[in-house]
């Protein structure tokens, strides 16, 4: 890692970044740690969480690059309503089709993880805030070894500028209380907690948090 994070380039995501951001998603998918202890197949996990941003609507996403290597990303979406339509009508059917054809490795870990996620969903976790006020959303992850160096802040500022240029005045995101370092980070950027729902993941009681921010205040 360089002595200063300003040496790291923040830029729009490009098609060639696809595999790198999918790998980071896998390595940070459990509160900033690897999801590998709880999920069997990296391809299925990345297809579920990344494919909208990498394959369908990449135009609002950004990466951090150090000496030619992608070491962080921000997946952005200015229109959550469109995301939901595409996710449920296109991405989920495609995932189910591949699963039925045996293209994913779905073992005990994955089945347990999916049961817990579905259970959290039906308990009301990750409530969607009013999309008229907060239409955009994001997911952000930085590779281990590059955190707490200002990269997340720079990725966020790039995304905020992109949204303002498009006339988008509000956004939201979801995270878990297990990701403790993320909470002061979001507060410092002006996000506020919209909802907090108790849930349980892999035997660890936690809370599903939804954060919101207005860009015109």
Give the pLDDT confidence score for residue 111 in this predicted structure.
94
| Helix, coil or strand: residue 170 | strand
Cα–Cα distance, 181 to 135 (Å, whole number): 25
pTM for the model stands at: 0.91
How many Cβ atoms are within 10 Å of 164's Cβ, its own excluded? 12
Give the pLDDT confidence score for residue 2 in this predicted structure.
46
- State the SS3 of 163-202: HHHCCCCEEEEEEECCCCCHHHHHHHCCCEEEEEEEEEEC
Q: Which neighbouring-strand residues pair with 138?
A: 76
In the chain, alpha helices (H): 18-27, 42-51, 80-86, 92-100, 108-122, 151-165, 182-188
Does the pLDDT of residue 6 top 80, yes or no? no
Average pLDDT, integer, range 122-129: 76
Give the pLDDT confidence score for residue 7 in this predicted structure.
85
CA distances to 25, 66, 104, 110, 113 from 107, in Å:
20, 35, 9, 5, 10
Average model confidence (pLDDT) for the chain? 91
Residue with tokens 């954060």: 211
Domains of the chain: 5-214 (3.40.630.30)
| Helix, coil or strand: residue 83 | helix
Cα–Cα distance, 97 to 199 (Å, whole number): 29
% of residues, the chain, pLDDT over 70: 93
Least confident of 34-43, 82-91, 192-201: 192-201
CA-based end-to-end distance of the chain:
35
Give the pLDDT confidence score for residue 83 in this predicted structure.
97
């Amino acid at each position: 890692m360089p002595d200063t994070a300003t040496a790291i380039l923040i830029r729009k995501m490009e098609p060639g970044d696809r595999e790198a951001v999918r790998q980071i998603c896998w390595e940070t998918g459990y509160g900033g740690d690897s999801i590998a202890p709880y999920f069997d197949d990296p391809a299925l996990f990345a297809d579920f969480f990344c494919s909208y941003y990498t394959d369908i609507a990449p135009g609002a996403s950004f990466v951090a690059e150090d000496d030619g290597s992608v070491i962080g990303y921000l997946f952005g979406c200015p229109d959550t309503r469109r995301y939901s339509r595409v996710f449920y009508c296109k991405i989920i059917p495609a995932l189910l089709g591949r699963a039925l054809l045996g293209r994913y490795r779905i073992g005990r870990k994955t089945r347990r993880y999916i049961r817990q996620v579905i259970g959290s969903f039906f308990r009301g976790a990750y409530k969607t805030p009013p999309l008229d006020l907060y239409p955009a959303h994001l997911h952000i992850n930085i590779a281990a070894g590059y955190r707490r160096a200002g990269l997340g802040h720079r990725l966020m500022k790039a995304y905020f500028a992109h949204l303002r240029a498009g006339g988008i005045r509000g956004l939201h995101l979801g995270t878990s209380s297990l990701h403790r370092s993320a909470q002061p980070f979001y507060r410092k950027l002006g996000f506020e907690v919209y909802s907090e729902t108790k849930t349980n993941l892999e035997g660890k009681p936690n809370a599903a948090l939804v954060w919101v921010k207005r860009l015109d205040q």
